[in-house]
Amino acid sequence: MSSYDPPLASLSISHVYYDPNDRISLVCAYLALLPQALCVVYATLILTTREAEILLTFAGQLACEALNFALKRLIKEERPPRISGKGYGMPSSHAQFVAFWSVSVTLFLLVRHNPPKVMGKVESSTHRPWSVAERGLVALAGLVMAALVAWSRVYLGYHTGRQVVVGCGAGAGSAVVWFVFVGLLRSGGWLKWALAHPLARRARARDLIMEEDMVQAGWEKWDARQQAELKANGDKKGR
């Protein structure tokens, strides 16, 4: 570290080094927590929805991490001098992680997800599935967030620009390959076979998210119950 470099502090919940005198550096330190937060989101969604698509995406995310682990030890390129001695830097694992996640979300929303306009037997007058444009905006937000995380790694001095670009490329490429692989599992009937297995049925695994509106899911059933209760209460008052 040169004499003019400011002392670095460690964000206590993550041990991410940042410049305490630089607010942007602090924001970047929090952006570094996105992969951990996404793992929590993955686990929560898997446990609560039991959706096969989410489980398969998380499996691909872990495979992407394994690829990053292998690439770092194959290339053995050091991090920038300011953060040297903290593992290899090529490619950036943060950039690869968020690139896989954001591209996977984009491919799902714009290619695989196709909810019907009317869900179930009850048509809701208060909600409709996301349009293609709305799904595109959500996908764009994910891509922008991933870009910010990747940029933050360079700003904090953990990686060079080249290490981040390679990480983004590896993550995006892995997402496309995994998306195609999952598509082959579907078209070949392997996913349907797996979901029919007694263990999968015991775990209540399902595969509805491609056609079920993610915001609307379960709403019609709840709305029908509420309307039935209101009707029943109205009938009682009318007697």
Confidence of residue 208 (pLDDT cuts 50, 70, 90): confident
- Mean pLDDT lowest for which of 69-73, 103-107, 153-157, 164-168? 153-157
**Does the pLDDT at position 191 exceed 70?**
yes
- As given in the structure block, the two tokens for residue 73 are 């030890």
Distance from the first to the final alpha carbon of the chain: 84
Residue 226 lies in a domain: yes
Residue 204's pLDDT is 87
Confidence of residue 179 (pLDDT cuts 50, 70, 90): very high
Average pLDDT of the chain, as a whole number: 82
Residue 48's pLDDT is 85
Higher pLDDT, 112 or 62: 62
For 19-77, list the strands marked E by DSSP.
none
Selection from 4, 55, 10 nearest residue 194 by Cα: 55
**Does the pLDDT at position 119 exceed 50?**
no
Confidence of residue 122 (pLDDT cuts 50, 70, 90): very low
Residue 4's pLDDT is 60
Residue 120's pLDDT is 47
Residue 172 lies in a domain: yes
Q: What is the mean pLDDT of residues 192-212?
A: 85
- How many domains does the chain contain in total? 1
Residue 3 lies in a domain: no
Please state, for a pLDDT cut of 90, what percent of the chain lies above it.
34
**Does the pLDDT at position 5 exceed 70?**
no
Check residue 1 and report its DSSP letter: -
- Mean pLDDT lowest for which of 112-121, 151-160, 172-181? 112-121
Residue 2 lies in a domain: no
Q: Does the N-terminal peptide bond of residue 91 adopt cis geometry, omega within 30 degrees of 0?
A: yes
Residue 6's pLDDT is 67
Residue 143 lies in a domain: yes
| Domain encompassing residue 147 | 9-238
| Pairwise CA distance, residues 127 & 147, whole Å | 32
The per-residue b/e assignment along 76-113, b for 16 or more CB within 10 angstroms, e otherwise, is: ebebeeebeeeebbbbbbbbbbbbbbbbbbbbbbeeeb
**Does the pLDDT at position 146 exceed 70?**
yes
SS3 11: strand
Residue 123's pLDDT is 47
| Pairwise CA distance, residues 54 & 216, whole Å | 17
pTM, 2 dp:
0.80
The residues, ordered by sequence, that sit 6+ positions from 21 with a Cβ below 8 Å of its Cβ are 6
Residue 4 lies in a domain: no
Q: What is the mean pLDDT of residues 77-106?
A: 86
Residue 95 lies in a domain: yes
